Structure 1
Amino acid sequence: MSRLYNSTLRIYGSCWFRNASTMQEAKSKLRNHIAEKLKQLTTEEKKKQSDYVVNELFKLPVFQVSERISLFLSTDDEINTKPIMESIFERNRECFVPRYSKKGMEMVKLHSMEDWENLPMTSWKIKQPSLKEQRENALDTGGLDLIIVPGVAFTSDGKRTGHGGGYYDRFIQGIRKNQNKPPSTVALAFKEQIVDDLPFSEYDQRIDKVLYMS
């Protein structure tokens, strides 16, 4: 049964009013709104913000001590994660990346920058290890210390709206429940993706820290 879902979001001082009959509709409107904001960003501005956010990540103690790190492979509308990948390998840490299928999402091992270069591209324009290829699954070999999370919109205190598939919410919920010491979660965002509030349900997972240029 749908319920009336009315709310107001304030995005950097400007009010965005939306009346949606369901949580799903509210999230869809938010995604469309953020997509329009991101379209206005120049390549130079994206690089500027990416460089800042990545440097802030490198300063975090949790990043410095984590041995097994899950990292999303960025698209043009996301913070560039390639320098993070390079740093993980330079530090001789273990890097795991998402592999999506109809069954859900798993984090599988990436061995090197050359390995990343050779990954096939999906229909969503995302590099991803082939489903036919045998790779180490992070949850089968020791879990994760840190999950670096993508998304569409965030609040500064860790609420997150993803792309709608629920992959990360289910993965994070599962690993928090089953891993003895749950991993830390850090999201990377452009400042245009930060909102004062967003539609958030009992199934959505809050992120420990959101990094963005204020």
Structure 2
Amino acid sequence: MKLRTELRDARRGLSLQRQAKHAAAIARHLLDSNLFSEKKVIAVYLCNDGEVNLSATIEGLHERGHSLVAPRMKAGGYMAFYELERFVSLETNAWGISEPRATNSVESESLDVALVPLVAFTDAGDRLGRGGGYYDRYFQHCDTFMVGIGHELQRVPTLTPHRWDKSLDAVVTEKGWRLCSGRAKTCLSLNSQAIQS
């Protein structure tokens, strides 16, 4: 898909300084929200391919006592989430992506919030990933609160979702939050400057 290639190239083309600035702004938007006011089990990702680096967010969530999990790729186009322990070294898979050790796996039903990477997003909460369908398959039958994490340049007017695509409840970029679902608009109380329309 041409759009996927163009947007992956665009995010990889961001300077290290711009990437760091976006990551810091996104961490601030996330940690200043009430989404993490109570202890939760939170799925995060470990960045690759120009995705937003969540290191500052992960550190902030660990400091607040949340349980964090991150994905490991499995055969057959599947993934599983494992506990992301603080100060424990990561492993690198065959694609050069960092992963947690395969020690304590977590069932999908126990995940309260998922911070997920994306290639493109719409204001309606449609998400375009890399094309493997890993996240869509994993979260297909879960009620996890889905937050897409991306750069503002990944915003597009429309996408044509497939019936199996998992919609996002909200998206956070360096510019702030976009609330996409009814439950996001109901449960999140945010500083008005943090909400993009």
Sort the TM-score into its range (normalised by shorter chain).
0.7 to 0.9
The sequence identity of aligned pairs, in percent, is 28
Task: Kindly report which structure 2 residues correspond to 1:16-165, keeping only aligned pairs within 5 A, or say none.
Answer: 28-75=1-48, 77-103=50-76, 104-112=78-86, 114-115=87-88, 118-130=89-101, 133=102, 135-139=103-107, 143-165=110-132
SS in structure 2 at match of 1:192: helix
| Alpha-carbon contact 1:157-1:210 (below 8 Å) kept | no
Instruction: Give distance in 1, aligned partners of 2:20 and 2:150.
Output: 12
Alpha-carbon displacement from aligned partner over 1:86-124 (angstroms, at most 9, x marks no partner): 112211211111011114111111221x21xx2121222
The 1:29–1:146 alpha-carbon spacing in structure 2 relative to 1, beyond 3 Å, is same
Unaligned 5+ segments in structure 2 are: 176-197
SS in structure 2 at match of 1:202: coil
Instruction: Give distance in 2, aligned partners of 1:197 and 1:71.
Output: 26
Normalising by structure 2, we get a TM-score of: 0.82
Q: Report whether the alignment pairs 1:172 with 2:145.
A: no
**Matched AA of 1:138:** V
Larger radius of gyration: 1
| Alpha-carbon contact 1:54-1:83 (below 8 Å) kept | yes
Residue matched to 1:210? 171
Instruction: Give distance in 2, aligned partners of 1:77 and 1:64.
Output: 29
Normalising by structure 1, we get a TM-score of: 0.75
Unaligned 5+ segments in structure 1 are: 1-27, 176-181
Query: What is the Cα deviation at residue 76 of structure 1?
Result: 5.3
Moved over 6 A (4+): none
